[in-house]
Amino acid sequence: MDNNNQPLSPNHLQGHVRPPNNSSASSFTDGANDIPPISGIQVFFREFLVESRKLWYLAAPAIFISLGQYSLNFVTQIFAGHIGTLELAAVSIQNSVISGFSFGVMLGMGSALETLCGQAFGASQVDMLGVYMQRSWIILTITAFFIMFFYIFAAQCLKLIGQTSEISEAAGAMALWMIPQLYAYAANFPMAKFLQAQSKMMVMAVITGVALVLHIFFSWLLMLKLRWGIVGAAVVLDASWWFIVVAQLLYIFSGACGRSWSWFSWKAFQNLLGFVRLSLASAVMLCLEVWYFVALMLFAGYMKNARISVDALSICINIQFWVMTVALGCNAAISVRVSNELGAVHPRTAKFSVVVAVVSAFLIGLVPSIALLISRRVYPSLFSNNAEVQKLVYELTPLLAICIVINSVQPVLSGVAIGGGWQAFVAYVNIVCYYVFGIPMGLIMGYKLKMGVRGIWYGMLIGTVLQTSVLLCMVYRTNWNKEASIAEKRIKQWGGEPIVRENDVEN
């Protein structure tokens, strides 16, 4: 089957045909086509390889998409670093704080579709996917309008929270030029989740790859060659994101998604309030994670030598986020696998998918961590010409390596939460671990104990370790049969048809 032209059936990923079912999932036992109980090491490794192929079929293009889209900001900051320290600080603050805020809100609200579209697709309720996407478009566009005022008054907001006047003015000027990107986020994320649920990753990867190539060329042209500075950076970022949006729209409107897109429908305006609640739960969960790292940047801006601290920390965080895009690819893949399998009533398969994803993400995180430790005397010069910045990056590298390993596993666990629809609970976990423990510990170690940027990062790392540990325990103790039951109820709640079961037809 050509997955670029037709929706990929969840049965294609599973390698078997799901029988029809009809009764309430609350009374089922593991589906007949679920994986059998695993007994013995040989059986475990065989099933591990089978599930790895299914996971990486989704994860490989998803990783490329995450790398490509994150690299848009990454490339911009590299060019800004070769213009000057003020420009690098301004672009870093704008991307991390202002765009980072809107990115977290929009991606988080769009992530509600990962649960709904993924489970509906797994249950063969394909017709509802387009309706869900349109509802999300409406909600995210309205949200973008209100967030736009943060962009308009960005300079004042940054000064209010204690950033230096020089950096605030430069970042605020860039933010005004970045408003088109905000609306691109509102259009893009619902489309991305819509396509992702159908395993249409390859077309998204191609579009992202073309956008990245164009972005590199025009960033060089406008920022360095034509000397447009941070204005050029904003213009190219806006254009790159809108290129992605328009290309994906053309693909969807072309009819390549089959029954999942049947053009615009008035159903999109139904049950908007309930959809808003689910979107807000998703947004809070993800934003609390994104803002945690934004807070690290802000606290660095309060140090005595703010420009050096912000520049060095922005380099480290950007490397961490760049590596985390691999884990975010696994996040997308495991979210699809869990939601599809729960929607198809295959709880054991969903559980085993989680095991494979967590092990794979941990091993992947080790590779860049070791590479950074080996090359820590060399790589800082790639991002800045300033000797002080290079020295601080060198000193922060061991801490960066530890964070990369931990933050390779954490997004995968968040993907499991999204696929299972646990966003509200994880939001509470994030509040306690990050904001009750992590940030206060960071402030105490950074300022009270006079450990500087390293102290802030040490304290916040404690919060990350605690949050990851809680999610691991939660996943370990999950009743996957119950989660599959909840998935069917959720599909009915949002307009899908009940799943038909073979044994009920016979009865």
Q: What is the 3-state secondary structure (H, E, C) of 47-88?
A: HHHHHHHHHHHHHHHHHHHHHHHHHHHHHHHHHHHCCCHHHH
What pLDDT is stored for residue 210 in this prediction? 94
pTM: 0.67
What pLDDT does 217 receive? 92
Q: Among candidates 328, 366, 335, which has minimal Cα distance to 353?
A: 335
Residue 9 sits at φ, ψ, to 5 deg, of -65, 145
Angle at 156 between CA 155 and CA 159, to 5 degrees: 85
Strand partners, 501: 21
Identify which of 134, 151, 135 has the alpha carbon closest to the alpha carbon of residue 238: 151
Q: Which residues contact 198 (CB under 8 A, 6 or more apart)?
A: 7, 8, 117, 121, 129, 257, 260
CA distance 10 to 380: 45
Q: What is the pLDDT of residue 488?
A: 61
Question: Any long-range contacts for 470-477 (C-beta under 8 Å, 24+ apart)?
Answer: 470/429, 470/433, 471/410, 471/413, 471/414, 471/416, 471/417, 471/426, 471/429, 472/358, 472/413, 474/422, 474/425, 474/429, 475/354, 475/413, 475/416
AA letter at 92: S
Query: How far from chain centre, in Å, is Cα 287?
Result: 10
Q: What gap in Å lies between CA 140 and CA 138, rounded to an integer? A: 6
User: Which residues contact residue 112 at a Cβ distance below 8 angstroms, ignoring those fewer than 6 apart?
Assistant: 136, 275, 278, 279, 281, 282, 423
| Chain mean position to CA 99 | 14
Q: What gap in Å lies between CA 238 and CA 491, rounded to an integer?
A: 36
d(CA 280, CA 287): 10
> Domain boundaries in the chain?
38-496
Distance, in Å, from the CA atom of 405 to the CA atom of 360, rounded to the nearest integer, reads: 11
Task: Based on DSSP, count helices (H) and strands (E) in the chain, helices before strands.
Answer: 20, 0
Which residues face 304 on adjacent strands? none
Q: Mean pLDDT for each 10-residue chunk of the chain (507 residues)? A: 39 37 36 58 80 81 81 82 75 79 77 68 67 83 90 86 78 88 90 80 89 92 82 89 92 78 68 68 71 71 70 78 74 75 74 82 87 86 79 86 85 73 76 86 84 81 87 79 66 51 36
CA dihedral angle for residue 403, residue 409, residue 413, residue 414, rounded to 10 degrees: 40
pLDDT at res. 24:
34
What are the angstrom distances between the C-alpha of 6 and each of 64, 132, 199, 209?
21, 19, 10, 22
CA dist., res. 125 & res. 343, Å (int): 10
Closest alpha carbon to 82 in 217, 227, 241: 227
Rounded CA-CA distance 74/67 in Å is 10
Q: What angle do CA 352, 25, 286 make, to 5 degrees?
A: 55
Are the C-beta atoms of residues 91 and 76 closer than 8 Å to each other? yes
52 to 68, 330, 361: CA distances (angstroms): 23, 11, 12
Separation in Å, CA 322 to CA 135, 365, 408, 483: 31, 12, 11, 32
Residue 200 is given by DSSP the state -
Burial of 45 per CB tally in 10 Å (0-12, 13-18, 19+) = exposed
